[in-house]
Chains A and B, each alone.
Chain A
Amino acid sequence: MTDTSSLPGPLAGVRVLELADETGQFCGKLVGDLGADVIKIEPPGGEPCRRIGPFVDDIPHPERSLSFWYYNTSKRGITLDIGSADGRDLFRRLAATADVVLETFRPGRLASLGYDYAALSRQNPGLILCSLTPFGQTGPWRDYLSSDLLHMAAGGEMASSGYDETDVPSAPPIAPGGGNAWHMGCHFAYMAIMAALVHRTASGRGQYIDVSIHEACALTTESAIASYIYRGEVLQRHTGRHHAAGPSPRTQFRARDGNYVCALVGGRLNPKYILELADLLDTNGMAGDLRDPKYQDQAVITANSSHIIDGLVAGFIASLPAEEVYHRAQERGFTWGAVRAPEQLLGDPHLFDRGFWKEVAHPELSSSFTYPGEGAIYNGSPWRISRRAPLIGEHNAEILCGELALSIGELRMLMENRAI
């Protein structure tokens, strides 16, 4: 393998100014880890989402938020009160050097400071300004407050996720965790920014982009919308498997160690599959009557699908640890997987082979920590975490003095006046 550690990332040379809270910081990470020069502009004292846990050693502190650490890799950080006259001026000067400005202010805030797209593009016609907000810049919900849970509700994720009545009676719809409303919004925002950057390579012109997290979430329930539009169906929630208009066979089974396995069997049962399944189940001597020639008749299979799925498959999975079932099944061509808790991923040899885990230095703590890496390997222009998340105002002098040519005296004056 060739050493690619010194090659630039695919977005090398792109400068992004990020004025983003917890809703948009992931987008800055996406571009930063691919090589863009991301300058995160925080309010004096630090961005409020530094208060979101968990914290290093459980000591709450704005420099110890692991949530902030994770979503702000590969960025430099400055502090700026863009509501102050000095702050506005410095922002304007920085925006003149940028390819992209990403902002998550409430609709109208940036314009009220004098920085709508028309103003910013006058001094920098190639600039791309992306506003990423909960509901977009227009519409009756434009000024509504939100949160991840609220987006999971209104976007339709909750209406699709939950339990069979027989598993958990009267269960509410369940909002999957992990802060995925922000991921959904940021993925779409990234795409729109990239399309605008590609367009700029041909036209030389930037543009304004209005991204709505609510719309991103509403687009992310696979066939739920199509089932309604084309058939008028409203789907039911099922334990650990797809929403559906009617009953469906279960796909989640408890293994010997108490963990679960996702085994997609229903809908695939045919004579050839039965023989392959018998081979798999026999690896633990549990094929039962599957080799009986009667199962080479599709009608018999269909009539006995509950015996096969809820009896034999469930019994086989219950006889082994979940990871063991996962690998035995996959090695024989079955698309099954273990339901893992995230901490189990650290020992995954496949992720190791892909160089997935990254050691990120935190010199201020004289330590380094293991971070998750990339879903896609960019051969020839590697993804990388170029630095840990910035400390509050860490690059004030480097950027404001080094690039905008402020003197140390001016920097001190701005600090004293709370402009930075």
Chain B
Amino acid sequence: MEEVARMKALAGIRVVDFSWVRAGPWATRWLGAFGAEIIKIEWPENERGRLPSTTTPQHLDVNLNTSGNFNDTNVNKKSLSLNVRTAKGLDIVKRLIAVSDIVIENFSSRVLRNWGLGYEEQRKIKPDIVYVSMSGYGHTGRHHHYTTFGPVAQAVSGLTFLSGLPDRPPAGWGWSYMDDTGGLAGAMCALTGLYRRNMTGQGQHIDLSQMVAGVPLVGPALLDFTVNGRGLRRPGYPPGNRALWPGAPLTANYRGGPTVAPHNAYRTDPGGYNDWCVIVCQSDEEWRRLVEVMDAPVWAEQEKFATVTGRLQHQEELDEQIETWTRTLGKYAVTEQCQAAGVRALPVQSAEDRVEHDPQLRQREMYLEMEHPALGRYKVQNAPFKLSKTPATNSMPSPMIGEHTREIVEGLLGLTHDELRAGFADGTFWPAQRARFPYQEEMLR
């Protein structure tokens, strides 16, 4: 293998990051993993992402620097504490944009424009700037002023409806899927705009809507409606974990796979909250393999289960019988026995299972420890892609609030040390009356 210098894909790229809460920071986390310099602009009085914290370790005080989830969401970034709502703060921002490549934010739709930092102003400062706005409904369209959290974006875009048991309330998504996915969409926009800029020399404003970004994820179901006139409000939908609810008409499942049985979650030993394993047989051949794995019980040899049509028709009995077998084994044992025989099966895994028990994630080094100055040593999530020449490995823990203010203001923008101190005194870099962290006292010496 030829020797290549290990470098970062986005080396030399600088991002002005106004984003907060989750979706925006999840976007810039990945730009940071690719090696861009992420300058996160924060203000302790109206910060959203560090506090309130439900992920501070029990032995630590909750403060701006001890949220575990913030740490995982904001690795590979620097933090500049700055009051953008002052003339002096705004001037600093403009100087920063002048030496940056990307501006990214997930405020409501008119915030940056109201600050005098809309795209037209940004391009006066930096003609080829790539500006990614990640508001709930986008900057365009009559509901641009509506606001979202992940669950609302999921509900309105149709995603929530796809999850649940028939004739029950939607089960939905147990987390802000559209913060995760909206974040990825933001990173995708930034990378795409950056590539275009490198090829054409032109910047642009990319207007992402978190809610609208959910709609392309229900594409086949939408086409079933626009082409066939079939909506999803129909008996037997959504079909839980099955491809088809027993007794429902034979329609598509929109899961990107065939409509088959078995296709379900089954309880496993010892019957705890997350002791479940899913099994799917996509062909009669795979079903015969499963029968072998179960030691060919008499019930499974019945003619009615030999074909996919029969298995779909007698799905309730089929699932009950399979579960009598899975209940005798642990979920990893079911998985290993099935997969060894060429049967699709995997365990339902909690967070603990993924971090502690998943042999694949362990071998792939998904969770590696990093030292954080306020939190201590904890595992941090890694990237799901391995780039041979520009690995996207985590290089820095999340910043403490304002940790890099001096480095950025003096080192990058060329302000004097006296100007930094003056900015702390007049409330530009930190609220004048607010207690400072020791590292801030240190940077003011």
Contact = CB atoms under 8 A, between A and B. Distances in A.
Interface string B320-361: 000000000000000000010011111111111111001111
B395 interface: no
A167 B387 CA distance: 45
B216 interface: yes
Interface stretch (A80-88, A107-115, A219-227, A283-291): A219-227
Contacts of A157: 173-174
A229 to B, nearest CB: 5
Interface string B156-188: 111111111100111111111101110011011
A375 interface: yes
A189 interface: yes
B89 interface: no
Contact of B252 (A67, A190, A219, A335): A67
Contact of A159 (B142, B209, B349): B349
B309 interface: no
Contacts of B147: 330, 333, 335
B379 interface: yes
A415 interface: no
Classify chain A's interface size.
35 or more
B351 A235 contact: yes
Interface centre among A71, A188, A216 (most CB of B within 10 A): A188
Interface in A160-178: 160-163, 167-168, 171-178
A159 B351 contact: yes
A379 B204 contact: yes
Contacts of A150: 278, 280, 344-346
Contacts of A56: 227-228
Contacts of A145: 339, 342-344
B192 A371 contact: no
Contacts of B150: 222
Interface in B226-264: 226-228, 230-233, 238-241, 251-259, 263-264
B352 to A, nearest CB: 5
B389 to A, nearest CB: 4
Interface stretch (B52-60, B80-88, B407-415): B52-60
Contacts of B144: 350
A136 B364 CA distance: 9
A228 B351 contact: yes
Contact of B359 (A55, A141, A151): A141
A225 B361 CA distance: 13
Interface residues of B, number: 163
A95 to B, nearest CB: 17
Interface centre among B140, B150, B205, B221 (most CB of A within 10 A): B221
B113 interface: no
B252 A54 contact: yes
Contact of B168 (A168, A195, A338, A353): A168
A176 B240 CA distance: 8
Given A195-B34, A198-B10, A340-B155, A239 B278 contact: no
B208 A375 contact: yes
A220 B184 CA distance: 10
Contacts of A214: 360-361, 384
A351 B9 contact: no
A22 B253 CA distance: 14
Given A178-B221, A338-B155, A196 B387 contact: yes
Nearest to A140: B359
B305 interface: no
Interface stretch (A39-47, A341-349, A404-412): A341-349
B152 interface: yes
A273 interface: no
7 contacts: A11-B192, A52-B252, A218-B349, A230-B55, A234-B350, A260-B170, A341-B233
4 A-B pairs with least C-beta separation: A230-B68, A375-B213, A179-B256, A215-B384
Given A157-B174, A191-B191, A353-B142, 13 more contacts: A53-B252, A159-B349, A176-B159, A187-B181, A190-B188, A201-B199, A227-B69, A229-B379, A231-B56, A338-B155, A342-B221, A354-B209, A371-B219
